[in-house]
Structure 1
Amino acid sequence: MFRFAKNAVNLTGQAVRQVRQVRHGSSAPDFHDKYGNGLMVGGAVFCVAVWTFVVTQTGITWNTSPIGKVMPKEWRESEE
């Protein structure tokens, strides 16, 4: 599976470079060529770090069942 994914990414990268070269007429690296992969990796790392913090440190209870945890109050008859 890893080999397939690696080849697929390589093919799409080659296709993007070919299309960019045909459309723009130059092969000089632009912002996306220089920083695109780094920004994607940095964004993914940041997202994973933030969600890891939220899940482990904030104390939020995520969709747990209230069955057995919520007890009904004792019924009281009103005296009139």
Structure 2
Amino acid sequence: MFPMAKNALSCLQDQSIMQQAMAMQNHQEQTPDFHYKYGNTVLASGATFCVALCAYAATQTGIECILSPAGSITPKEWRDQ
């Protein structure tokens, strides 16, 4: 029975320590972090960069997009041997 009472007392002490830590956290001034301050700006600038890069690649590099292979693939003539 003694170890069980000891464990129960330990749990109560741990809970009181956690409550004290949470109370201290709640009293501290909350400052916005980097993601809260600059998250949308970083997201928008990254999206703009990707769109600009894709637009440059599509217009300036001469890459042709072939959406459908129909008509671009021609079968070879059949040869009997």
> TM-score, with normalisation over the residues of structure 2?
0.43
**Normalized against structure 1, the TM-score is what?**
0.44
Give the greater-gyration-radius structure (CA).
2
